Structures are given as structure tokens and as C-alpha cells.
Structure 1
Amino acid sequence: MPIDNQAEIEITSFAWVPEFARGFVRDLRPRWACEEAGLSYRQRLIGFETAKSEDYRREQPFGQVPAYRDNEVQMFESGATVFRIGQRSERLMPRDPAGQARVLTWVTAALNSVEPFVFDLVNIDLFNKGEAWTVERRPQVIDTLRGRLTALSDWLGDKDYLEGEFTAADIIMGTVLREIDDKDLMAEFPALVAYRDRCVARPAFQRAIQAQLESFAAEPVAA
């Protein structure tokens, strides 16, 4: 779906990030949700200086992306924005309260019960690569993450998606699993590899990541 500058939904993202971060910045999540839901959106691209500004901090207290707004709400945090978009589309969330509660549960689980342990590994392998302390710490991080992935794999079983049908929760969990770069660890969980690959093979994901990649300028943007 082409980005529509007149669209009701606005997603704020960075105009430039380093190469290693491209395709992983969190605004990818609401972009993907909009693509799945068939909702057009406009993008607001900002530089790191804008993100530090007092005005932007009133929208996003931590100076991160995404920030989100539509004609009813103004929000931040990728999980919350994806849930908001999901509430507007039966493609992403059941209409009954029980079904919506299940989606919210899995969005929260992805962000709180899985992603922090994934980021511990990213912190070692990417942001602190080569540091002496990582030699002792990494096996502990792997063991803890392995436990989380085992529980997730046991739940998933032979289902295509977390709740059977694709929902907003799979957007969050799918992007969390994309961040694991340890192929040996993931090889222990073929069901999760298949699940992750199934999520990112969806046309809506492909459109969303292409839109994000196309938004980045060639050089850092200060404003």
C-alpha cells in the first residue's frame, strides 16, 4: 500500500539510522500492522536532534520511535501502536473481548517475556562484540534465552500462528524472533524458525520493510 500523506494515521520514524539497524527499527511494527489491516498511513521522518527536543519528548518521553497518532489518540511504544491498529481491523484481532484479551496477552508476552532475553544476546553479540566480559556472560544468556524459546515452541506446537490465525501478536513476536542472529541456537527450534519465516514471508511484511528501507536518507539527518 503506498504511503498516503493525507492519511489519518501518522507514524513517526527516523530519517536515517546506521546500516546495521535498517530493517529493525521499531516503526516497522506499526507499518506492518497498517499493511495487514489495509489502512493507509503517512510517515513523519525526524532526525536524532529532533528526537532529543522537548517538543518531541512530549510525544515520546524517551526520544525513540515510533510515535503514533490518528484522529482519536496520540501514542508511543510499538506494541501499543500495533494493538491500537489491531483494534481497528478484524484481520489483526478478533472482535470479541476474550479474543482481544488473548492478543493483548501475547503482545505483552513478546515484549516482556521474550524480547528482553533476546536483547541480552544482541547486546553481547552486536553492541559489545569482542569485550572480555562477554565470554563468561554469553553462555548464561544463551541458556536463559533457550528456556524462553523452549516454552514458546511448546506453546506454538504445530499451529501456524500463536492463536491459530494471524493476529497483531504475531507482528510483535515475529519481529522479536528476527532479532536472534545465532543460527545454531535457532536450529534447536525448527518450529520457531518456520513460524518466523512464515511471518516475514507475508506480503504485508515485505511492503512494510521496503517502505522503511526506502525512507532512510543516504547521510545522517540532524533535524
Structure 2
Amino acid sequence: MLKVHGFSKVNKGAHGKTRDLRVLWALEEMQLPFEMVGLDHPAHELNTPAYRRLSPFEQLPAIEDDGVILSESAAILIYLARKSGQLMPADLAGEAQVTRWCFAALNSLELPLMSLNMIDWVEPESACANYRGFVRGWAEMRLPQLDRWLEGRDWVATENFTVADILMAHVLSGIQDDALLAPNERVRAYRDRCFARPAWKRAIDSYRARVQAT
């Protein structure tokens, strides 16, 4: 059976935001059976030789599936979509569009958004105001570009919900400053549409019942 390595315990600030949720959401959408293997992040259960064989960078999630070992959330979602025949078109052109938007979510959007969050986590704003301003400007450029793309579209890559939407919605959920989203009504509506899906609600409810915050 498919094994999913995810969090069993995580720091309070990251609870409900961790990237294993991307895989758990996809599995709920696909209705695929799996075995959950929970790891205690604060207790350093990821920092062992055994886990490094699954995830070289000691990160979650990772999966084991009939001899296939895979880490990196986007790679896992693409693998599961191709294996199940769900959340990705069967034709090469459609698959390419989904893959394109998986990369876009993690490179064009997540990079500036996560960078902005990290600045606020580790440094007082006064100590890196110029750099923070640059990164915020980067995010303020990307979000309107996405907003324009979403005109007339329900989903980001194809006419149907795909794994690219899971990645993009989860990236957008990391925005901590509502003022960044305020001018981008289509992006906000898209994010809300993704998170209104029953499969997400099942995934996050199960996660909250299982994963401890410390």
C-alpha cells in the first residue's frame, strides 16, 4: 500500500500549513487508499540516516509506493496524477499545461511569497527594509499577472481542477498580508474556490485531528 510520510507533530506556527497537506488533499480528491507514517518534527525524527534515504533534504512529505520512493510535493502530485489517471489530462498537451503551472506555482509565485514571509520571521523590518521592499515589489508584480491569467478561468491549468490547482492554492494560502491579495479579486476568488472543495475540508479536518502542534 502507498505510504505517505507526513507530520505527526509540528511547531505551532506551521500547523495546518505544512506541505504534506498538498499530498493529503490530492489523495482525498483521488480517493486513493494510503498508510500514514507520522514523524515528529520538533523531536528531529526527519534528521536520521533512515529518513534521508527517502528525502535527501530531510523534508516532508515523502512517499513509498511499490518500490518507488519520492520526495518533493510537486513531484509526488504529478506521480499520483499519472498513476491514478486523475487530476491531470491524459493527453500530452494537457499534461504539459498542468506541469507548467505546477512549476509556476513553486517558482514564480511561491518564491517571492515565501521569501517575504521568511524576512518577517527572522529579521526586524527595520534591519532589512530595502530588501523587504524589493521582495514585496516582486510579489506585487506576480499576483496581478496571475490575476490577469485567471480572467474567464475557474482553474489555472485546464478547464478542470488539477494537481496544479492544489499546488497554486496552497502557495496562495501562505500570504500573510491581506493587502497583497486585496487588489487581485480573481486570485482571491480562485483561492477560495479551491479551498471550498470537500476533499480539502476532509484533508484539513483529518490533519488537525491527527497532527499535534507544539
Q: TM-score, normalised by structure 1?
A: 0.89
1:173 to 163, 168, 178: 168
Moved over 6 A (4+): none
Partners of 2:32 and 2:128 lie apart in 1 by 43
Partners of 1:134 and 1:24 lie apart in 2 by 26
Partners of 2:213 and 2:143 lie apart in 1 by 37
Decide whether the 8 Å contact of 2:166 with 2:194 is kept in 1: yes
Q: Does 1:23 align with 2:16?
A: yes
Q: Does 1:145 align with 2:130?
A: no
* Counterpart in the other structure of 1:155: 149
Match for 2:212: what amino acid?
A
Helix, strand or coil at the partner of 2:55: coil
* Counterpart in the other structure of 1:4: none
Decide whether the 8 Å contact of 1:177 with 1:196 is kept in 2: yes
Decide whether the 8 Å contact of 1:128 with 1:134 is kept in 2: no
The alignment yields a C-alpha RMSD, in angstroms, of 1.5
Write out per-residue CA displacement over residues 112-151 of structure 1, whole angstroms, 9 at most, x where no aligned residue: 11111111111123x1253532333322211111111122
Match for 1:54: what amino acid?
P
* Counterpart in the other structure of 1:9: 2
Q: Does 1:121 align with 2:107?
A: no
Counterpart mapping for 1:199-210 below 5 A: 199-210=194-205
Decide whether the 8 Å contact of 2:22 with 2:166 is kept in 1: yes
Decide whether the 8 Å contact of 2:15 with 2:213 is kept in 1: no
Counterpart mapping for 1:50-199 below 5 A: 50-125=45-120, 127-128=121-122, 130-162=124-156, 163-199=158-194
Unaligned runs of 5+ in 1: 1-7
Say how many residue pairs are matched.
211
Match for 2:169: what amino acid?
G
Match for 1:170: what amino acid?
D
Q: Does 1:47 align with 2:17?
A: no
Partners of 1:140 and 1:35 lie apart in 2 by 38
Q: TM-score, normalised by structure 2?
A: 0.93
Decide whether the 8 Å contact of 1:12 with 1:66 is kept in 2: yes
Partners of 1:186 and 1:210 lie apart in 2 by 25
Between 1:22-31 and 1:146-155, the stretch displaced more is: 146-155
Helix, strand or coil at the partner of 1:15: strand
Partners of 2:213 and 2:21 lie apart in 1 by 19
Unaligned runs of 5+ in 2: none
